[in-house]
Amino acid sequence: MVIGKHGSILNEIRNSTFWTPQVQRSPAIKSKITENVRGVLYANNNYRRRFLNSIGKKIYKEWNPEKVDEWVRLTFLGGARQVGRSCLLLQTPNSKILIDCGIDIASQGQDKFPYLNIPEFDLNQLNAIIISHAHLDHVGLLPYLYKMGYKGPVYMTPPTRDIAALLSLDFIGVAYKQAAKPLFDSSDIKEMVKHSICLNYNEVTDITPDIRLTFYNSGHVLGGALVHLNIGNGLHNLLYTGDFKYARSRLLDPAIASFPRIESVVTESTYGAKTDSFPPRKEIEDKFVGLVNKTIERKGKVLIPELGLGRAQETMLILEDAMNSGRLKKAPIYIDGMIWDINAIHTAYPDFLGSKARSDIFQDKNPFVSEFFSRVGSPRERKNVIEGGPCIVLATSGMLVGGASVEYFREFAGNKNNSIIFVCYQGVGSLGRQVQDGVKEIKMIVDGKEEIIKVEMEVYTITGFSAHAGRNELLSFFNNMRPKSKRIIINHGEVSKCLDLASSLYKLNRVETNVPRILETLRLR
């Protein structure tokens, strides 16, 4: 549908029909997942009408304008003193809300999942689920809840819904490739989409009789949100940061730091240690381009393992700019894994991008369709890349835990002319962490047999591209936050980083700080 100049056509339709059309942008790159998600919503239109109506009735039937004897409790089912399986249970006398439900992709067995087998967690009593963003450590277990019988709403932004569906489908594919039984199937992902309620940034909505939700830009990934909850008709205001970045990147604007009211904050601490401050952005980008050029000059190949969402797009924008300006030596840039599909979703939701990237797309300077990038879409094409000349390869997964990046690593590792550049966090126990720590012989399963891979390639780490807030950004965020929080709860970080950040925030802000363990419950009010 054509919107018209300044929305003229939309206004004309509204004035003549008294209906407000919902406009959905077609992605500049064909996106099968976006088409499928919209198809599921359209096919289940009647069900969704009844579903949304029942949610509204339940919220307002039980609403009480009076402030009664209320309390607020927060239980950490995952993500406390670790990075991975983020999951929190928020309870009031009237509501039970789950905030995020992720997995720890670098762990095995029960440590991979949040603790959902505790007495106070009952799927049938859950009022709603809120998802901050679409990384698997925050959303990976969500379809499983629908498999187990959950039929309630899940609140997220529109890009998060589409990307969560894509990553969940890929998660199933990776399980099959590893000869493992997947936790859920595509029908469970459809149920997740059917029950999704999508909100834009700064849009306020009641999700239970006593909880009001607002999403704010987190600066982390496309559609990523800071979760603000107004509880008990003004009784208590909680901000859950999820993952956030308090600095401008090429892809996104920085996180919002101004809110109507705040009493408690749950913050990430991925880079919360004193040693986790990032150098200036230009310095980081110049170093990155220099490392790539060095490898290309010696006729080597560069492997950049990427998180399909966020880091890959940021890296692409840096490479495209460096190629345009002549700073990067001419070499093919190959995109493998889910990155291309997630790029397509970025082009469908430019309003969620930063001002610069959004402006470029609206002016037909879309960086995601640049001539410099070539998609690798089949095993034959991947074989050609491996056997070809000097090149740059961006491939998922970012921690070398399944996906195309593992295959490239296996083929590139033995050649000292090649290099691997880590641009994202490497989880404890992951293959990427082993390589990053300097392990020279890696045991891998290839075609069902154990094989020793010798690591001769150059190994580099660039920390400043992170979509997480660095140490200085974390401190600045709380220094600039308005209004000031009375309590700061630290999670989503290795133990030492959580404790380090908690100590510093207490000394600088003179506020109560907590570093809970998994399964600990805090009374917020």
Sheet with 154-156: strands ordered across: 196-198, 154-156, 128-130, 96-99, 87-91, 73-78, 521-523
The domain that holds 301 is classified in CATH as: 3.40.50.10890
Are 132 and 105 members of one domain? Answer: yes
Residue 6 pLDDT greater than 90, yes or no = no
Are 314 and 455 members of one domain? Answer: yes
- Residue 384 in domain: yes
Residue 394's φ and ψ, nearest 5 degrees, are -105, 120
Residue 67 pLDDT greater than 80, yes or no = no
Are 414 and 311 members of one domain? Answer: yes
- Residue 3 in domain: no
Q: Average the pLDDT over 10-14 and give the result.
A: 79
Predicted local distance difference test score (pLDDT) of residue 173: 87
At 7, the pLDDT band (50, 70, 90 cuts) reads: low
Domain boundary among 461, 481, 498: 461
Are 456 and 492 members of one domain? Answer: no
Are 196 and 105 members of one domain? Answer: yes
The pLDDT tens digits for 460-491 are 999 888 899 999 999 999 999 999 999 999 99
The pLDDT tens digits for 378-436 are 999 999 999 999 999 999 989 998 889 999 999 999 999 999 999 988 888 889 999 99
Residue 286 pLDDT greater than 90, yes or no = yes
Are 493 and 443 members of one domain? Answer: no
Domain boundary among 461, 480, 506: 461
- Residue 215 in domain: yes
Are 238 and 315 members of one domain? Answer: no
Are 457 and 472 members of one domain? Answer: no
* Mean pLDDT for the chain overall: 92
- Residue 254 in domain: yes
The domain that holds 107 is classified in CATH as: 3.60.15.10
- Residue 12 in domain: no
Are 95 and 148 members of one domain? Answer: yes
- Residue 11 in domain: no
Are 332 and 424 members of one domain? Answer: yes
Residue 41's φ and ψ, nearest 5 degrees, are -65, -40
- Cβ burial, residue 233 (10 Å; 0-12/13-18/19+): middle
Structural domain count of the chain: 2
Are 209 and 90 members of one domain? Answer: yes
Query: Which tokens sit at 59?
Result: 């919220």
Spatial contact of 264 and 236, defined as CB atoms under 8 Å apart: yes
The pLDDT tens digits for 200-257 are 999 999 999 999 999 999 999 999 999 999 999 889 999 999 999 999 999 999 999 9
- Nearest 5°: CA angle at 79, between 76 and 80? 65
Domain boundary among 441, 461, 481: 461
Return d(Cα 2, Cα 25) in angstroms, integer: 10
- Residue 15 in domain: no
Return d(Cα 388, Cα 342) in angstroms, integer: 26
Are 296 and 394 members of one domain? Answer: yes
- Residue 10 in domain: no
Q: Average the pLDDT over 338-347 and give the result.
A: 92
Q: Give the domain range for residue 490.
A: 31-274+468-523
Predicted local distance difference test score (pLDDT) of residue 405: 94
Q: Average the pLDDT over 110-126 and give the result.
A: 94
